[in-house]
Structures are given as structure tokens and as C-alpha cells.
Amino acid sequence: MGQILVTGGAGYIGAHTAKRLNSAGLETTVLDNLATGHRDFARWGAFIQGDVCDPVTLDRLFSSRNIDTVVHFAAASQVSESVRKPLLYYQNNVAGTIALLAAMRRHDVKNLVFSSSCAVYGPPFDVPLSEAHPCGPISPYAKSKLMIEGIMQDLAQAGDLNYVALRYFNAAGADPEAEVGERHNPETHLIPLVLQVALGQREHLDIFGDDYPTPDGTAIRDYIHVQDLADAHIAALRHLQNGGASGPINLGNGQGHSVREIVEAAREVTGRDIRVRQAPRRPGDSPRLVGDASKAREVLGWRPQFSDIREIIATAWAWHQQETRITPQR
């Protein structure tokens, strides 16, 4: 096996994946422009600071290394920002991936594991969501992911690419060794926001909507530990290298937790009060998003190891305490 190129490998999920790849004895090169990634996250494998949109950087990289597989995370990923700046998302995500695919073709690299999203489905009609569910993305971010999937499908049909598009639900948690975790600016993900309240970095958590048709009125999401996501990328990589079929595959725990359940679990894990404030629903939010990951089990032989939401939150809590240098309360 040759080297693995990890684009966006200085970001949250990319860095966890690079660490797991290296732990598995695989040689990696991380490419990241550090626009949203972090240099201290890019310490597993060789690091090149550069942009996936730049064909000169890509050609130098592929020419100088024995790369046979690409794991592609590099993308802008804020849904609300994509609504305000749609062109940025089509330039970064779609045009950037086209540049990468063109470079791969020039250098005869055919295997690609792509970081997609459950957002490609749009408002769900059936829960849990399977890969057969119709796609109807509603944000430029989600549309960019589905466009890329379509491009990869066309290339695969032409015999130019072998790919797996991993459509994951809500990434959560942190490296159990607390070497890398979730660091976004601005932070928009629920569990880090809840833990910031526990740490005294925020006064309260806004709960958007309490009148959804769910048991406690708050929205339900499927949370999957970031290390499980990383392991799925390795499984997808091996699937392709063994001649497996191309296509999309969901990644999720198959169970959902409401916003209030997350808050209560965080209170239990941290032993701290977490103040909440009720806010109106956000446009476009779905009442329930839960994934059907049976295809991942059947095709990749993958099962999540972190199924307890408290365990997932505990790994994030350990990371955030270390990040802020606060001594854990016992």
C-alpha cells in the first residue's frame, strides 16, 4: 500500500482520521490550507500547507509521493455561512474537488474516500434514513456535497474513479487520549456549546424550538463519535483497495437523542449546572434526523464502538477541560 493523502487533515474529523491511519501503521500526508484547520492538529504524518484548489500544489504533491488513495475532507462546512456566501461554497467545495479529481486523474490515482453529509437528504420523510431515501438538499453546503457525489458517480461510470461517499450524521466527542478534539470558530455544534456553558465560557445554551413532534418537544439527532467516523474511513479505504463497489454509505449510531437529553447527559457527565434559554425554531431544522447504517455494517464490516451518549460526551469533556486548562472537578 502506498501513501494516503488526507486533505483537510488539520480539521476536526480529518485530524482524528489521520491519527487513526497512523495508528494502523499507514503512511499519510496531510494537505490543509489552515483556513479553518489547526497546525497543532496536523502532527500525524507529513504536513503540507496548501490549497486543494491549487493544481500546482497538487501536481507537486502527487509527483513527489507514492500516493494511491485520497481521503478528502477539505471543504467549507458551515450551513448558515453557505446561505450567506453560496459562491464561496461552490468554489471551495465543488471547484476544489474537481481540481483534486483532475490531479488524481493526471497521476493515475483512482481511490477516493469522500467526506459527505446526511444533509444531502434534506427534510426526511422516513426515519431512520437509508441511502435509498430521496435527496433534497436545502442549503448551498448540502447542495455542494450532493454535486460532488454526482461528479464522482459520473467518473466512476467512466472508469476513472473508485469512491465511497460517507454520509455521516452528527460528529461528536473527541480522541479518548485527548490529543485532538473539536475546536471551531465560531462554534455551532451542540455538544461543544453545552460544554462551554459547563465551563463558564457561555452564560447559557439556546434551545431552538420546544414544540417539535418529539417526546420532549426538542429536535432529535443521531450522534456518532468522531473516532468511529475515523475508523469508518479506514474501512472504506480498505474496501476500495480490495476492489469494492463505489457509492454512498451512511454512518450513524441508528439512535437519536433530543437537545434536552444531551443537556441532561452533559450535566451528569460534568457535574455542573448548564443553563438553557428557550428560543424560536430555526428555519429548515428537521424534527428528527436518525441514520440507518446497515449498509456500513454489511459492506464495510463497520460498527460504532461508542454507542452511549454519556461516553461520547465524556471524551469531549476531557478534551475541552484540557484545552482550557481547567482542573476536572471530582
Tens of pLDDT, residue by residue over 11-30, are 999 999 999 999 999 999 99
Mean pLDDT of 38-64: 96
pLDDT at 329 over 50: no
Q: In this predicted structure, what is the pLDDT of residue 135? A: 95
Residues classed as catalytic: 141
SS3 labels along 153-202: HHHHHCCCCEEEEEEECEEECCCCCCCCCCCCCCCCCHHHHHHHHHCCCC
Work out the pLDDT band at 324, boundaries 50, 70, 90: confident
Whether 58 contacts 39, CB under 8 Å: no
Mean pLDDT of 292-302: 97
- Cell numbers 429536535 correspond to 219
55: Cβ contacts below 8 Å, ≥ 6 apart: 99, 102, 103
3-state SS class at 116? strand
Interatomic CA distance for residues 41 and 156, integer angstroms: 32
- Residue 2: DSSP 8-state: -
Q: What is the mean pLDDT of residues 84-95?
A: 96
Encode burial over 56-89: b for 16+ CB neighbours within 10 A, e otherwise: ebbeebbeebebbbbbbbbbbbbbebbeeeeeeb
Closest CA to 277 of 324, 325, 218, 221: 218
**What global pTM score does this model have?**
0.94
